[in-house]
Amino acid sequence: MTERTTETHRRDPVPVVVVAGALYDRGRLLAARRSAPADLAGRWELPGGKLEPGEGPEEALVRELREELGVEVEPGERIPGEWPLKPGYVLRVWTARLLSGEPRPLEDHDELRWLTRSELDSVDWLDQDRPAVAEAGLRLPEH
């Protein structure tokens, strides 16, 4: 007689996807300084936010940058990789081109800076944004 065992597979919950934009304009990349929450305040990130139910990532990126910065953007390519945030959340980054508007820090940020490739290390990026910023920087012209 053969003993048969049933193996149960535990599935990890599907992570919440946070999209961020590597927003380009005139050979520069936009950096946004966090004002909240307290543990992230003062550090810099690529702006974005969580996908809403039924929303695609590019659609979420357009909505988030409109809400956070007051701009209209055109999403481009996804930057390779995915980075863990707090438990249950992952960061995915897309390139984006500014179509209209002048970015303003409307939500969760208190300062914005346009950075050239040589200036990317001049701000204190959030750890999870660093690999995406390095990849985004490769798409900037060298000065």
Taking only the tens of pLDDT, the chain with its 143 residues reads 544 444 444 566 789 999 999 999 999 999 999 998 999 999 999 999 999 999 999 999 999 999 999 999 999 999 999 999 989 999 999 999 999 999 999 988 999 999 999 999 999 999 999 999 999 999 998 86
End-to-end CA distance of the chain: 74
Pairing of strands 16-25, 44-45: unpaired
- How many residues belong to the chain? 143
Domains and CATH numbers, the chain: 23-137 (3.90.79.10)
pTM value is 0.87
Count CB-CB contacts under 10 A for residue 19. 28
Return the structure tokens found at 102.
């002048």
Sign of the torsion formed by the C-alpha atoms of 52, 57, 63 and 67: positive
